[in-house]
Amino acid sequence: MRVRRLTIKNFRGIANGTVDFAAHTLLVGGNNIGKSTVCEALDLVLGPERLSRRPTIDEHDFYRGRYLNDDGTVVEISINAILLDLSDEAIRRFHRHLRRWDEGKGEFVDESDGGPEMADGDSTVWALPIVFIGQYDRKEDDFIGNTFFDHPVEPARDEEEPEEVKLGGGRTFFGREQKRLCGFIFLRALRTGSRALSLQRGSLLDTVLRLGGDGLTEMWEYTLTRFRQLKPAIGEIDRLKAIRKEIRERMTRFVSLCAGDAATAFFGSELTRDDLREVVHLFIAAEPAPHLVPFQKLGTGSINLLVFALLTFIADLKGKQSVIFAMEEPEIALPPHTQRRVCRFVLREMGQAIMTSHSPYVIEQFDAEEIVVLDRQETGQLTSHIVALEGIKPKKYRQERRQMAEAVLSRAVLVVEGSTEAALFPVASEVMENCLGDAYMHIDLAGVSVFNAGTDNAVPQFGSFFNALGKLSYAFYDKQKNPPSAEVATKLASYTKVWESPEKGIENVLVKETSIPILKRFLETTKARADYPASDTINGEMKEDEIRELAREVLKARKGDGYSYAALLINECTTASDLPETIRMILETINTDLQEKCPAGPVDTCKEKEDVAEESTITIPEVSVVSAKG
C-alpha cells in the first residue's frame, strides 16, 4: 500500500494544496515551505495513534490560526489521502469504500470524461480514498477531528451521534484498526526520540509490543500484580505496621472500618497501566562501560540508531513491504556512512518511504523521479512537482549523483564545464569576500553550488533540471566556434543567466585578464613546487608577452583540481580588481541576484527567479550574457 496523492486544506501554513507522491519520495524545498506539515498531515490521516492525543488539533493547526470565519461559521481542516497498491486483505475488507483510479490520468475514473467503460482500462487500479476532518466545536469549546472513508458519502445520520462522528457528514468512520492495516509509521526528527523509545501509546516500543502477538494485557496485569504482592509486603515492616495500627484505632472512632489488619495496608505502588507506560524505561549497557543506563543517557547518534533498530524490527513484524514509512531528517547525529545504510535499508525494505532531508548522503540515494519539489506562495497555496530528467541520461545522473544532491540543497547553482573552473571560483569568491566585506558574501556561505558538468557540451543539458528544482541557475562555458543550435539554445534558456567565455580555454581567459605583477608572483610561487611542469622558469629579463606565454603553458600543463594551479593564480590576487574581469563579473552578478531575490538568508529555493534578468541579451565587455528569457 502506498500514498499516491495528499490534498490539504486549511492546515497550518497551507491554505490549500496537493502533493503527488512517487513509489519512494524525497520531499525538498525551502525552509518553512511545508515539508514537515505534509508529514504531519499524513500522520493525522493515517497514524493509528495520532487521534488518541487530546486535543487532536488546536488553534495553531488552522491556517493563520483562523478556526472561525468573520461571520462566525467554523473553518474546516480537511486532509484527503488516496492510497494505491492495496493488499488483497485491504481490498477484501474495504471493498465497499474503493474507487477505480486511472493512474495514467491521475484521477478517479468516475470523474473523468471517459465514462464507466474506462473502469477496466490498462492504467486503472483500485484506490482507497480517506479523509481527516477537523474543526472547532462551539458546544464543548474544544477542537475535534476524526478520519473517515471518503467514499461513499451517504445521507446525514442521527443527530444524536457524537460531534466527532457527525464531522464525516455521512462518511463511515476510519478507525485505528483500519489504519493499522495501512502500515503507516511516522518518525519525526529525532528531537522526539525519547518518546519514540518509551512505552507510551503509539511509540515504537508500543508498536513492537502490539505487533509481537498476544499477551499485552497479561503483561500489564502481571506487572501490576507483582507490585501489589511484594513479599514481604511493605505494610508488614515493623514501623509501617505500627502506623497502620494507629490509623485503624484512631479512624474507628469516627468511621466504620473492616475488622482486623486488613482494614489498612501499604502497597508498593498505585500505578495504572498508563502510569507504567510513563515510568518504564529501556536500559542499555554500551561499550566500553558495562553498566546499564536509561536509553536517553546514551549519545544522540546511539539513540538514533536504536530507533532505527526498532524500525527494522517493526518492518519484519509487519511483513516489510506493507509499511508506509515517513521520516524527517534521518541524518541527525549520524555519520555519512550510517546515513547511507539507514536510507538504503528504508528504500529496500519499506513498501513506500517518504523522507525530508538536508543531507547529500541521503538525497543521493533517490532517483530523480523520486524527488518531489514543494513550493508555497504567500497566499498559502502549496504546489508540488516531480523532477524530470529532461535531456539528462539516467547514467549521467547516477554518475553525478553527489553533485546533484548538493545542488538540490543549494540556493543557486553555477554550472561550469570542468574541474579547473570548479576549483577557481570558490578561491576568487574568497578574495572578493576579504576585500569587499559586508557588500559581498562568499558563494559557499550564500548557498551557491558549483557544479562541474565535465565538458562544455554537457553544460546546456542541466539547465532544465535545475530550473525544475526552482533554483537560480547560472552557466559558464567555453567559447564556441559556431552559434548554438536551436535545441542547445532552448536548453541554455532554462538557465537564469549564461556566460560564454570570451576566449577559447579558461587558461587564456586567466592569462589575458590578469595583470603582469600577479602573473609574476604566480610563476615565482610555483617554480619551486615539485610538480612545476615547464622547462623554463621566470626571470627578470622576460618581456610581458613571454611572461603571459609561460603562465599559459604552466596553467595548461596543470589543469584540473588535482593540481589547482588556476586556483593558485587566483590566490595571488589581493583585491577584487585584481581578479580576471570575467570571473569577477560572474561572481558579482550572482551576488546581486541573490541579494535581490533571496534577501532572507540561506534557503533552498528562491522566488521569482524568472525575473532576475529583464533583457533578452546583455552585453558585458568581451562576454555575452544570455538570460533565461533569451
Residue 502 lies in a domain: yes
pLDDT for the residue 310: 79
Cis check: omega of the bond before 55, within 30 degrees of 0: yes
* Tens of pLDDT, residues 482-540: 999 999 999 999 999 999 999 999 999 999 999 999 999 999 999 989 899 877 888 88
Q: Which residue has the cell 525544475?
A: 468
341-355, 570-584, 588-602: the lowest-pLDDT one:
588-602
| Confidence at 603, pLDDT banded by 50, 70, 90 | very low
Task: Identify which of 453, 458, 431 has the alpha carbon closest to the alpha carbon of residue 442.
Answer: 431
Residue 61 lies in a domain: yes
Residue pair 137/163 in contact by the 8 Å Cβ criterion: yes
| Confidence at 195, pLDDT banded by 50, 70, 90 | low
Beta bridge mates, 515: none
Cβ neighbour number for residue 319 with a 10 Å cutoff: 12
Residue 505 lies in a domain: yes
What is the DSSP-derived secondary structure letter of residue 269? -
Residue 259 lies in a domain: yes
Domain end, chosen from 174, 204, 221, is at: 174
Angle (nearest 5°) at CA 124 between 121 and 126: 135
- The percentage of residues in the chain with a pLDDT greater than 70, rounded to a whole number, is 89
Q: How far apart are CA 609 and CA 496, in angstroms?
A: 7
Cβ neighbour number for residue 517 with a 10 Å cutoff: 11
1-15, 46-60, 343-357, 467-481: the lowest-pLDDT one:
46-60
Q: How far apart are CA 625 and CA 608, in angstroms?
A: 19
Specify whether 455 is located in the same domain as 549. Answer: yes
Specify whether 115 is located in the same domain as 245. Answer: no
| Confidence at 234, pLDDT banded by 50, 70, 90 | confident
Average pLDDT of the residues of the chain: 84
* CB half-sphere exposure, 139, CA atoms < 13 A: 4
Grid cell at residue 609:
527567479
The SS3 of residue 174 is: coil
pLDDT for the residue 626: 47
* Tens of pLDDT, residues 422-436: 999 999 999 999 999
Q: What is the CATH number of the domain that holds 41?
A: 3.40.50
Q: Which residue has the cell 533554483?
A: 471
Q: How far apart are CA 609 and CA 92, in angstroms?
A: 50
Residue pair 284/298 in contact by the 8 Å Cβ criterion: yes
More confident site: 478 or 561: 478
Helix (H) / strand (E) element for 84: namely strand 77-84
Specify whether 111 is located in the same domain as 253. Answer: no
Residue type, 370: E
pLDDT for residue 240 is more than 90: no
76-85, 103-112, 394-403: the lowest-pLDDT one:
394-403
Determine the structural domain holding residue 260 and report its residue range: 236-266
Q: What is the distance of C-alpha 375 from the center of its chain?
A: 13
Helix (H) / strand (E) element for 155: namely none
Q: How far apart are CA 430 and CA 570, in angstroms?
A: 10
Specify whether 149 is located in the same domain as 242. Answer: no
How far CA 444 is from CA of 440, 450, 463, 589, in Å, comes to 12, 9, 21, 15
Domain end, chosen from 150, 174, 198, is at: 174
Specify whether 162 is located in the same domain as 246. Answer: no
pLDDT for residue 607 is more than 50: no
Residue pair 311/185 in contact by the 8 Å Cβ criterion: yes
Specify whether 170 is located in the same domain as 245. Answer: no
Residue 32 lies in a domain: yes
Specify whether 415 is located in the same domain as 551. Answer: yes
* CB half-sphere exposure, 513, CA atoms < 13 A: 24
Residue 448 lies in a domain: yes
* Tens of pLDDT, residues 420-476: 999 999 999 999 999 998 999 999 999 999 999 999 889 999 998 888 888 899 999
Residue 230 lies in a domain: no
Specify whether 113 is located in the same domain as 242. Answer: no
* Mean pLDDT across 273-280: 78
Specify whether 583 is located in the same domain as 436. Answer: yes
The β-bridge relationship of strands 293-294 and 283-284 is antiparallel
Q: Quote the longest CA-to-CA distance of the chain.
A: 120
pLDDT for the residue 628: 37
Grid cell at residue 253:
472512632
* pTM of the model as a whole: 0.77
Angle (nearest 5°) at CA 223 between 221 and 227: 115
Residue pair 14/361 in contact by the 8 Å Cβ criterion: no
Q: How far apart are CA 59 and CA 417, in angstroms?
A: 52
How far CA 403 is from CA of 149, 443, 449, 574, 588, in Å, comes to 43, 16, 8, 30, 23
pLDDT for the residue 231: 67
Domain end, chosen from 266, 287, 318, is at: 266
* Tens of pLDDT, residues 25-79: 999 887 888 999 999 999 999 988 777 777 889 999 999 999 999 999 999 999 9
Residue 609 lies in a domain: yes
pLDDT for residue 415 is more than 80: yes
* Mean pLDDT across 561-584: 91
pLDDT for residue 588 is more than 90: yes
What does residue 89 show for φ and ψ, rounded to 5 degrees?
Answer: -65, -40
Q: How far apart are CA 14 and CA 40, in angstroms?
A: 12
- How would you class 535 by CB atoms within 10 Å of its CB: exposed for 0-12, middle for 13-18, buried for 19 or more? exposed
Specify whether 451 is located in the same domain as 548. Answer: yes
* Tens of pLDDT, residues 115-162: 666 777 888 999 999 999 999 998 889 999 999 999 998 876 666 677
Specify whether 484 is located in the same domain as 618. Answer: yes
Grid cell at residue 264:
489498612
pLDDT for the residue 268: 64
pLDDT for the residue 478: 94
Task: Identify which of 447, 566, 565 has the alpha carbon closest to the alpha carbon of residue 506.
Answer: 566
Q: How far apart are CA 508 and CA 297, in angstroms?
A: 60
* Tens of pLDDT, residues 88-110: 999 999 999 999 999 988 999 98
Specify whether 113 is located in the same domain as 258. Answer: no
More confident site: 130 or 296: 130
Total domains in the chain come to 3
pLDDT for the residue 599: 52
213-217, 394-398, 405-409, 558-562: the lowest-pLDDT one:
213-217
